[in-house]
Amino acid sequence: MTDTPPDSPRPAPWQRQMLVHLTEDGWRAALRQPWTGEIRPCLEHWAERDLPLVVARQNLDNAKSALATPAGTLLLGLAAPQCWGRRRVALRVASSHLTMRSHSGGSLGDSTGRPDTPDADLPTRTDRASGVARRGPNASPCGREPRLLPSRWPSLAAVVAGLPAAPAAWLALPAQLHRVGLCARVYGSHGWQHLTGLAYCHGASDLDLLIPVADHATATRAATLLAAIDDEAGLLDGELCFPDGRAVAWREWRRWSQGATRVVLFKSLHGAALAEPGEAPCPNPA
């Protein structure tokens, strides 16, 4: 017996916030589009270094929208760094032009909520040309570049360890999550900065977390811990990600768990909807 309603979509291989890479044909097709201003050099940088794109929410309802995603395509995005205006770039790509790096747990980590492997153990790809930072006339205008190209968002531990002035509460959070059987990955400005080696963050940049949770009780445990850390250090944001692909802001879940609201906003690959947590299919793993 399943908790999923009969009219729920079949599980998709893609999820919001999942990182994917384009094939060489995919990048050629993307760069043939009439990009203007700062977007084209940004995309050329991404293509040359095989940097990842993130799966966005798919727009299936409005066929006339410029961001509509007809069958056989996927809407992807990237956030440009400071040197390219911090623009948000959307690309509609043929599914046949996508590839993912294969490792346990996908881009978000283990969907059961168990801690996943350290970043040092993840398969990575070196830069196509040399695997090291480029110099000379083709060097990036944005400064240093990554030696390795990971295929999923970096772990919280890796990100906070690399921050020059991380609050003590942030530094302690990976171990606190681990003690209750949870892990976190970082997206947003800190995630992109860690992945690309380019400048995204400023002093007031939030630390955006993706935390896989197995069930409602686990989500409440995670939200309670995050609330305590946020009270101490602040600037803590992010989502709790359930096994069915739906996600909810941890702050919303915290308010629901305290009885302050009856519904929360669940986000998924194909949209977002307010629902009572008991109505949303968040099955426990077998």
Distance between CA atoms of residues 254 and 259, nearest Å: 9
206 flagged as catalytic? yes
Helix pair 216-233, 250-257: axis angle to 10 deg: 110
Distance between CA atoms of residues 237 and 235, nearest Å: 6
Contact predicate 207/176, CB 8 Å: no
Q: Which is catalytic among the residues 110, 116, 208, 244?
A: 208
7 flagged as catalytic? no
Pairing of strands 236-241, 207-212: parallel
- Residue 22: which of 37, 32, 12, 9 has the closest Cα? 32
Contact predicate 155/175, CB 8 Å: no
The distance of Cα 200 from the centroid of its chain, to the nearest Å, equals 15
- Residue 69, both tokens: 């995603």
Q: Which is catalytic among the residues 206, 215, 230, 237?
A: 206
DSSP states along 3-44 = SS-TTSPPPPS--TT-EEEE-HHHHHHHHTS---TTHHHHHH
For 118, what's the count of Cα atoms within 13 Å in the CB-facing half-sphere? 5
Catalytic residues: 206, 208
